[in-house]
Amino acid sequence: MGNGRRVTVISAGGAARAGISFGSALAIAISWTEHHSILWAIIQGFLGWIYVIYYAIAR
């Protein structure tokens, strides 16, 4: 752009990915502690924060 203006784009994508990753890791840790099953840990890792919230409500 030849007019000398700068445009700054701020993305929340990195923070969102970090939150999703943390939610998945937390779900896997909780699942492993409860079930000692790799299959359940993988499934609940994909569910991420949904499983973490469920666990918090159910316990």
In angstroms, the Cα distances linking 26 to 8, 12, 40, 46, 51 are 34, 21, 13, 11, 9
Report the domain count for the chain: 1
* pLDDT tens sequence across 5-55: 776 655 556 655 666 688 888 888 888 899 899 898 888 888 888 888 888
Is residue 1 in a domain?
no
Evaluate whether residue 35 is within a structural domain: yes
Which structural domain, as residue segments, surrounds residue 25? 19-58
* Residue 55 DSSP SS3: helix
pLDDT at 57: 92
Q: For residue 12, tell me if it sits in a domain.
A: no
* Nearest one of 54, 58, 48, 56 to 16, comparing CA atoms: 48
30 part of a folded domain: yes
Residue 6 lies in a domain: no
